[in-house]
Amino acid sequence: MAKSTLSSQEVDDFMRMLEHPLHAELSALRALIMAVDSGIEEGIKWNAPSFFYRDYFATFNLRSTDKIQAIFHTGAKVKASATEGLEIDDPYGTMKWLAKDRCMLTLQDMADLEAKRESLESIIRQWIQQM
């Protein structure tokens, strides 16, 4: 994956134009993800802000307008984790597993995001360590 395709400016522009009822919450989740590790980069992939660490690992689900959602995955290509699975400690049950290597993060609102901030940071760290 060529990192030259990644651009925070592209995400800034996208977010500026985004009309979404949970815009502030999505912006807060974006900032949280980017702050977890200096090696995380971002870009627009699959028509949404997506986050990269060795490969893409999370993409906002913008279709949901009443909850904050992001798909956590292991990139566009199938990897060993598709059959082996990932081990993620998720004490609040914020992740719904869609496959062994993919899950949906769901948060209700800004208060939910803030209450689970430390757990979310831990989940992201665990996820990128297994990339």
For the segment 61-86, the average pLDDT, to the nearest whole number, is 81
Say how many C-beta atoms besides its own lie within 10 A of residue 119's C-beta. Answer: 15
pLDDT of residue 1: 41
Number of compact structural domains in the chain:
1
Per DSSP, the chain holds a count of helices (H) and strands (E) of: 5, 6
Answer positive or negative: Cα dihedral of 12, 14, 16, 20: negative
For the segment 34-39, the average pLDDT, to the nearest whole number, is 97
* CATH assignment of the domain containing 94: 3.90.1150
Segments of the chain assigned E as strands: 41-45, 48-52, 56-60, 68-72, 95-99, 102-107
Answer for the pair 52, 34: CB distance below 8 angstroms, yes or no.
no
How far apart CA 16 and CA 55 sit, in angstroms, is 25
Taking only the tens place, the pLDDT of each residue in 39-57 is 999 999 999 999 999 999 9
pLDDT of residue 2: 41
- What is the domain range of residue 83? 3-129
